[in-house]
Structure formats: C-alpha cells, structure tokens
C-alpha cells in the first residue's frame, strides 16, 4: 500500500488528449504561501505569493490571467471564489489549497491541477478521476532536499541536539543533562516506511553511518541492485518491522491506505525509546497518539516538518510535546522540500507542465498522478484497489 520507487521510469510519454493548438486566454489560479520581507529580499523564494513561481511575465506574454494568493480558507476566500472559473489550479504542499469534491464540482472549467512540489493529497483524487480533472506534480523535484532533512532529523533526535542548543541559549552548561540521552547512530537499526524516491535516498545516506542494519517496509521489493547497494532487508509485516527498529522514518505518500497508519496500536509495537521521523505527511501519524507516546517515553522523540493541518494551529500538541527528560521534539514548519534549490526545480517543473498543456503536448508520465478519468500513480491506485 506504499509507493515504491527507485525503479526505472518509463521513457515513453503519455499521448496528450488536448488539441495541438496553443491555448490562450486561460485563467490560472495559484495558491502559494506569503513570503513577506524574506521574499522581497530573496527573489529565489519562488514558491511565494510575492515571486509567483517566476511565472507572471511569461503567463502574461502568453495571454493568460494569473491569479496568485495565499487566502485559502472558507467560502469567501480568494481560493474558493477564483476557482469557480479557473482552468488550471497550482498549489503547493507547503501551503495547500485543499481541493475537496465540493469545491471541485463548483469549478466547472477546471481541467488541470498542478502541485508545485511532490505530494497531491490536498486534492480529492477520487473526485478528480470522476470529474476527468488531471492531477500532476513535479516528481523528483525535492527528493534530495527531503532525504537530507530526514537524516538531519534522525541525528538531532539521536544526539539530543535540541535540548543541548536550548541549554546554550539559556546560558547554562550542564553536559550531563544532555549527554544522558545522547547516542550514536552507529550500530542502530534504522527502517523506512516506504522505499521510493525519498526513502531509498535516505537509506543511501545512512550507509556511511555504519548502522547495525537498514530495513524497509514497502508493498514491493527494491530491485536487486538497489537492495544490494544499501544492504537493506525488507520486512513485510509492519508491526514486526517497527519492533526491530531503533529509528523509524516515514517516507510514503498520504492516501487512503496510509492515513492514520502510525496510530496508538502500532506505537505499542515500537521498541520502547525508539525515535520516529516523519517528513512525508502529518496525517500518516495520529497526532494525539504520537504526543502521548513521546510524553510517556514510549518514543524517545519525534521529528519532522509535516502537520495534519497546515499551517498548524498554535495549540497543536506537536509544537510543545516533550519526552520525560524534557527533549525529543524536532518539529519545524513544513520546509524540508522547499529549499532554494528545490524551489528552482519545482518552479521549472510547473512551467514545463504548463507549456505541455498549453501546446497540447504529452506530459512526462512520472508526473501524472491522475490522468483523464483514471489513476496513473501506482501507490494511489493500489490503495484504491485495497479499499474496494
């Protein structure tokens, strides 16, 4: 039920269902996050409302209307008002415009949804299939960015970094207070839920740390050459998998088969004092169950940048949860996949998707989550079949 990647992507492209005549006079709506002064000072913050993915002048020259906003909540939001006659929606995992069935069915002209990044769970994909609305994302645009963040998060938990840094900020110096819960990553068992494009890259980056063993849980096996490269062992039962791991990292898409996957029951099967990292999607982990597991010490720590609702409410338990020794919280805003390097890649990818759409050309099949009336993503289709 998990997306597996690190397998070859088909070289062929999908035949486009659109006319080869270039499209003009389209309304394109983009829901992005506000960058404020930072975006004004740093033009490479392309994923912001200020810098508009770098598309404004180009779209204007093509004769299209381009509406950009961060206002996305409620019936009077720019999102819900402007979507009604938009043909293309661009949104981002970092500040998602949630395209529900109800909103989708009010958008009579909508034909294409593009995710500026990776992960399209903010779109009701079943409704998109039924309404013949294509859903595409910029596959691979931030896989390295996220994989690096995963490794960083693992290290800051295992080494008890955050409490140590907070101690320095307070002006204190009590080595024993932080060292008593600091460990080496060497000789630990580390496992990934999902061994796709990100999960596999995490395994690659962990090899030099000489872990005791690398494990993965996925609905399919890695190709032989990939498994040998990282010397990883597949565990087919999820409870058995987590029971063997000192560190678990979640690297799978959010869909019907993974929502709430890490819940109170599964957490009971973790090694006591294990660490959990989630940079995939917040809703894969039960927020209250995770907070309680950290508080009790069942988990020594939880880190990540994804939240079940974004932006996260100020009273979200993941903001303040601590383990019994006062550490174990490595949560940050959702930014692992939106480094300046990643923003350049996904902005370029969005433009490429739009160019193909305008000109009636084929899209890269790796970017297509939902085609016209059918799933193209293996993970989403697999989940749908399981739930029939």
Q: Where are the domains of the chain?
A: 27-141+339-378, 142-331
Sign of the alpha-carbon dihedral angle for 345, 350, 356, 358: negative
Residue 342 pLDDT > 50: yes
Question: How many whole angstroms separate alpha carbon 335 and alpha carbon 330?
Answer: 13
27-141+339-378 matches 142-331 in fold: yes
Q: What residue has token string 């180009």?
A: 58
The reply, when asked if residue 246 is annotated as ligand binding, is no
Answering whether pTM is above 0.95, one says: no
- CATH number for the region 142-331 comes to 3.40.50.720
What is the pLDDT at residue 152?
98
* Digit-coded pLDDT (tens) for 355-379: 999 999 999 999 999 998 899 865 5
Query: Could you please report the per-residue DSSP string of 123-152?
Result: B-HHHHHHTT-EEEE-TTTTHHHHHHHHHH
DSSP letters for 290-353: HHHHHHHTSEEEEEES--SSSSPPTT-GGGT---TTS--EEE--S-TT-SHHHHHHHHHHHHHH
Alpha-carbon distances, residue 248 vs 195, 224, 254 (angstroms): 12, 23, 17
- For the stretch 258-289, pLDDT in tens is 999 999 999 999 999 999 999 999 999 999 99
Given a contact cutoff of 8 angstroms between Cβ atoms, the answer to whether 29 and 80 are in contact is no
Q: Which two tokens stand for residue 129?
A: 């299939």
Give the catalytic positions in this structure. 142, 281, 310, 334
Instruction: Give the architecture (CATH level 2) of 27-141+339-378.
Output: 3-Layer(aba) Sandwich (3.40)
Query: Is 353 marked as binding a ligand?
Result: no
* 385 marked as binding residue: no
Q: Is 335 annotated as a binding residue?
A: yes
Other beta carbons within 10 angstroms of residue 101's beta carbon come to 14
- How does residue 382 score in pLDDT terms, banded at 50, 70 and 90? very low
Residue 320, annotated as binding a ligand: no
pLDDT at res. 52 = 98
In the block, residue with structure tokens 């770098």 = 54
Tell me if 257 is assigned to a ligand binding site: yes
8 labeled part of a ligand binding site: no
Q: What's the whole-number mean pLDDT along residues 197-221? A: 97
| Contact (CB, 8 A) for 345 and 339 | no
| Confidence at residue 345, expressed as pLDDT on a 0 to 100 scale | 97
Is 255 annotated as ligand-binding? yes
**Averaged pLDDT, 109-122:** 94
Owner of token pair 């996050």: 33
C-alpha torsion angle, residues 212, 300, 240, 380 (rounded to 10): -100
C-alpha–C-alpha distance, residues 388 and 368, integer Å: 22
pLDDT given at position 23: 62
């Amino acid at each position: 039920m998990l997306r597996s990647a690190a397998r070859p992507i088909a070289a062929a492209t999908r035949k486009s269902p659109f006319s080869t005549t270039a499209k003009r006079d389209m309304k394109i709506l983009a829901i992005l996050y506000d960058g404020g002064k930072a975006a004004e000072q740093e033009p490479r913050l392309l994923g912001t409302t200020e810098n508009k993915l770098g598309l404004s002048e180009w779209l204007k020259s093509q004769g299209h209307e381009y509406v950009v906003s961060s206002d996305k909540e409620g019936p009077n939001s720019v999102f819900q008002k402007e979507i009604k006659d938009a043909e293309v929606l661009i949104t981002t995992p970092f500040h998602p415009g949630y395209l529900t069935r109800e909103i989708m069915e009010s958008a009579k002209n909508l034909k294409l949804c593009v995710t500026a990044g990776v992960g399209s769970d903010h779109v009701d994909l079943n409704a998109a299939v039924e309404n013949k609305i294509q859903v595409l994302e910029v596959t691979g645009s931030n896989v390295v960015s996220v994989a690096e963040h995963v490794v960083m998060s693992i290290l800051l938990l295992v080494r008890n970094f955050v409490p140590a840094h907070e101690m320095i900020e307070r002006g204190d110096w009590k080595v024993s207070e932080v060292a008593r819960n600091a460990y080496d990553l060497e000789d630990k068992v580390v496992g990934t839920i999902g061994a796709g494009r990100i999960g596999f890259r995490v395994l690659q980056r962990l090899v030099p740390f000489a872990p005791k063993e690398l494990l993965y849980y996925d609905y399919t096996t890695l190709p032989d050459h990939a498994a040998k490269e990282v010397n990883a062992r597949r565990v087919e039962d999820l409870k058995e998998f987590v029971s063997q791991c000192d560190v678990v990292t979640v690297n799978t898409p959010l869909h019907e088969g993974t929502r709430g996957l890490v819940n109170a029951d599964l957490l009971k099967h973790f090694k006591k004092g294990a660490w959990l990292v989630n940079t995939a999607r917040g809703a894969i982990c039960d927020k209250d169950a995770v907070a309680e597991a950290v508080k009790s010490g069942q988990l020594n720590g939880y880190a990540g940048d994804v939240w079940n609702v974004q932006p996260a409410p100020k009273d979200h338990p993941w903001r303040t949860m601590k383990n019994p020794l006062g550490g174990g919280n490595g949560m940050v805003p959702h930014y692992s996949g939106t480094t300046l390097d990643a923003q350049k890649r996904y902005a370029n990818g969005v433009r490429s998707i739009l160019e193909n759409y305008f000109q009636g050309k084929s899209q890269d099949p790796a970017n297509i989550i939902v085609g016209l009336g059918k799933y193209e993503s293996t993970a989403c289709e697999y989940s749908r079949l399981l739930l029939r």
